[in-house]
A and B are shown apart, each in its own frame.
Chain A
């Protein structure tokens, strides 16, 4: 090796000595010789450098995050029209679809609380409510959401449902007997009832003045003066389970559903209630939401373990099933889109009653 180095320097000195004798030829010779001598050493030092300093980079597969992620719990859904749908759920997630649910776009907010429900006045204006009494409104189709401070108590403030009505009116219910109302598209909210240690799970306004709320332990509250005063409906039968949702098909006929498959009916605008006794059998799963499907003339309800319940107009025949026998995801709300039902909860899917088929709108594992 030393000799080699010596050769290298010798080449230089020789080239200098010979410079005067035969300039062009010897100069050319010396340069090529020098280069040839240098190259191996460059390779050697290059290898040493590579061995010590070069670290390979890793190629990472790009992971596309779906709009509806596997762990998302989507608690609330509202259908504005046949194309526009809003979803809200865990950790402040708000999603909007403009194509009947085929694709979803995330609407960003800074909220990290879970949203429980969403309701829209029109395509632009909507309100979303959730844990710790969080209320957000939008007036630009969800491009921006603004937080609204609402009356709260010191114990528990989770808001569970919200429903919008014409002229900017909306009602929301939640923990500790909360009933809130707005008349200006959600910009300001008033407390419509004193605090009480009961959870109210749903509320409905069935005409200009009558509002009915349902909740824990079979609680049914009714107001005939647009919420100024409330009376507790006395039932002539025992209910231990909570009522989770209420729906009316007109001013008089309504159904309420609840935990352990509870279904009760009223035919007089909520003054009196009876258990629904059908010939089709019973459901023991929790029922979380119910809607009236005018086109098919049926009531349709969803709940735990992927169960659905359909009751005909006469309330005599009950049919039940599971959306997907391989996927027993729970659902908290249901809504109608173009003759199909959008069910949300541990997953989001569309159920076609015509084909008796449930299509999930995202791939999802239940954990």
Chain B
């Protein structure tokens, strides 16, 4: 290490040139990185649900559906004004880019039809396409026709007749969320007035909102950066103490973003908080370097000794610095086991980013410091060291010296047990109805709540009932199984309703029997059902049955409408589907395949996260322990450094559980990063205690020096970062605010345990890997 440190400082110009060269080289791709969210990236491609979803999404319903709800403010929707607006929105949909015009369902569209008996059999005609009803009589007839059709009255026209839905699906590969978001809202606003209210929901809208808040997100990043710089300037009182950490953060950001862009990885605005977290680590390492440099230069007491001070700093901090970075990268890399592309891409970004910190903070900062002279004066007179920092650090030392150290351990153990208990309540998946990305009072979540109040549910899942043979879904046993399945599923309160071809055939049958409701049932045998389906098809247009059955009648869909996306709701539904499959193994060689649609995809994601939850945490801890054991050559070291990591994560998990924040795809990387990053502070403190003890200092002296030097760096970075993380509370994206809060808590617990708990533990247990007698010089 000494050789490496010497080489870096001696060839500092070359090192600097190389860093500058790569920074310049990567600047262009870094600034041109794609900032976007792709819902498909959430899909764990190898999961069986996703395979079903991909196979049938184009006909049975994809994930990118936009739902418009038109609500009449007076009476009901059955007047020319409101119906005209429904028609206007339906026609306006055709102007939205990337829509699948064969998947528009609206009273004013071609797909929703009235089925009637006539002298020639069954006749079906659209409710109000191409023309609106012209008179009060025709409006009344329209109303009666809708009331009669349970496939429309309920799913597309609300029970109180005050609202109607218009849904549209998109071609996934052509969809641009921003464009769809803008065009959909423009359309909605165009028709909204004092007589009607239009609500809009759907994945393209949700991710459109995330992108909509991108400028705000950028402003918050800038604000956080400003707060961070100002605080650093106030505390460090030197320009170098302010600018060098900034340079470290900037260099690693440019390298990471540039490399990601070159690897074809886009930047998801939802992970901006994680990006900040990693940048924070770069800054943290840099501040440690500067603090140590000041200390060394103070000891040397000569302006000409900058190079020596920088070399000593680099030599001493290289081990904890690199170990910290290696554990960070190792722990976060574990997340890549997950088959979710978003997480895999995020892991590449995070690992690259964390690794760049090794250059930008651990090497570049001392190299730059080697040109810096000892400060003759400070940039301002406010000395927070005296007022705040030193008293806190003195308190830390005092705690270790006195019996209060036992109190600290006792508090930590209590916290460990209490938070451990509460952590068990942590939910997988979204813990609240509505989207957890946005605030409950956001326009999107309010619209979503309104739609779920009026209709059976805006979010859908489809399961495929099918087999190998053609015309299999016409068989009476298969159709009966579908109906029994639907009955079984509707017992769950959060499933507002279900829909399948087995709902249509009884309607056709009843219509053929003069509307006699005693014949509201499937045909008695396969032949009759085949005829019923044929009659419906004959009356309909080609493709009208596509959302229910495929053209060969091999596979049929059952669509389930969910009133919320909560993890528990989806888990319960999946478990109930599996229970039904177990109870009904094979009906005429027909199988039930899970699961497509938005809820199907979320179910797959939640299952992957759930099964990977323990895996990623256990393996991240495993990597941490192994690295500590390898570096300190002591098995005790692995255990010792687990303490702050487990504590900070348990506190964070308990807080998530208490606040109802679910462990979902957005929070998993934060948790894994937390394990790796949680150990950094402790590593610096313990490493310094070790090196001081090796110099011949006593236990307390070593601990005191470490707390006042490395501990200062910990306290300063923690204070500055916690303050700058606070700006995220004001984000319009609830997810960012919550992540900001979690990182704030996690930073606080890590810093406090590094400052109070670790020195206390070190003093009480005196582990050999810290207090080694082998290399110790005689006592001073």
Contact = CB atoms under 8 A, between A and B. Distances in A.
Interface of A: 1, 3-4, 8, 36-37, 39-41, 43-44, 47-48, 50-52, 54-56, 58-61, 63-66, 69-73, 75, 90-91, 112, 114, 116, 131-132, 160, 201, 241-242, 244, 259, 286, 288, 304-305, 326-328, 330, 332, 345-346, 365-367
Given A345-B517, A365-B456, A48 B483 contact: no
Interface string B548-579: 00000000000000000000110110011000
A260 B342 CA distance: 59
Contacts of A4: 629, 633-635
Interface stretch (B82-90, B610-618, B709-717): B610-618
Given A50-B615, A131-B524, A288-B518, 14 more contacts: A1-B630, A43-B642, A44-B622, A47-B625, A54-B618, A56-B610, A70-B490, A73-B517, A73-B520, A241-B514, A242-B516, A288-B517, A367-B498, A367-B499
Contacts of A3: 633
Interface size class of B (residues with CB under 8 A): 35 or more
Nearest to A72: B487
A11 B456 CA distance: 69
A54 B614 contact: yes
B511 to A, nearest CB: 12
A263 B635 CA distance: 92
Interface string B598-619: 0000000000001101111011
A63 B611 contact: no
Interface in B611-667: 611, 613-616, 618-619, 621-622, 625-626, 629-630, 633-636, 638-639, 642
B514 A114 contact: no
A138 B492 CA distance: 33
A64 B572 CA distance: 12
A346 B150 CA distance: 11
A60 B514 contact: no
Contact of A55 (B486, B517, B611, B616): B611
A176 to B, nearest CB: 13
Output the residue of A40, A114, A330, A345 with the most chain B CB within 10 A: A40
Given A54-B614, A242-B516, A37 B153 contact: no
B694 interface: no
A224 to B, nearest CB: 29
A155 B642 CA distance: 78
Interface string B470-505: 000000000010011011001111001111000100
Given A58-B571, A71-B483, A39 B610 contact: no
19 contacts: A1-B629, A4-B634, A40-B638, A44-B622, A44-B629, A44-B638, A51-B622, A54-B614, A58-B571, A63-B493, A66-B491, A116-B518, A132-B524, A242-B514, A286-B516, A305-B147, A330-B520, A365-B497, A367-B150
Given A3-B633, A244-B516, A43 B572 contact: no
A75 B517 CA distance: 9
B515 A160 contact: no
B502 to A, nearest CB: 10
A4 B635 CA distance: 6
B154 interface: yes
B605 to A, nearest CB: 14
B182 interface: no
A327 B148 contact: no
A144 to B, nearest CB: 24
Contact of A259 (B497, B516, B611, B615): B516
Contacts of A112: 480
Output the residue of B571, B621, B642 with the most chain A CB within 10 A: B621
A259 B622 contact: no
Output the residue of A66, A70, A304, A332 with the most chain B CB within 10 A: A70
A132 B148 CA distance: 27
Contacts of B569: 61
A47 B635 contact: no
B774 to A, nearest CB: 12
Given A69-B487, A328-B147, A367 B615 contact: no
B310 to A, nearest CB: 32
Output the residue of B155, B568, B618 with the most chain A CB within 10 A: B618
Contacts of A36: 636
A69 B629 CA distance: 61
Given A56-B610, A59-B568, A60-B575, A44 B626 contact: yes
Contact of B491 (A40, A63, A242): A63
Contact of A75 (B428, B518, B621, B626): B518
B159 interface: yes
Contacts of A64: 491
A40 B486 contact: no
B150 A305 contact: no
B385 interface: no
A60 B571 contact: yes
A48 B618 contact: yes
Contacts of A90: 521
A327 B159 contact: yes
Contacts of B622: 44, 47-48, 51
A326 B153 CA distance: 11
Nearest to A90: B521
A143 to B, nearest CB: 24
Interface string B140-153: 00000001101101
Contacts of B517: 73, 286, 288, 304, 330, 332, 345-346
A288 to B, nearest CB: 7
B496 A365 contact: yes
A332 B635 CA distance: 78
B614 A55 contact: yes
A51 B614 contact: yes
Contact of B492 (A44, A50, A63): A63
Contacts of A8: 635
B655 to A, nearest CB: 20
B618 A332 contact: no
A51 B483 contact: no
A244 B638 CA distance: 82
A40 B639 contact: yes
A9 to B, nearest CB: 13
B524 A37 contact: no
Contacts of A44: 622, 625-626, 629, 635, 638
A328 to B, nearest CB: 5
Nearest to A40: B635
B621 A47 contact: yes
B154 A366 contact: yes
A69 B150 CA distance: 17
Sorted nearest first, the 8 A-B pairs with minimum C-beta distance are: A40-B635, A51-B618, A51-B619, A50-B618, A47-B622, A71-B487, A61-B572, A65-B491
Given A43-B625, A58-B575, A60-B572, A304 B518 contact: no
Nearest to A333: B518
A284 B625 CA distance: 80
Contacts of B615: 50-52, 54
Contacts of B147: 305, 328
B608 to A, nearest CB: 12
Contacts of A69: 487, 490-491
B541 interface: no
Nearest to B491: A65
B610 A366 contact: no
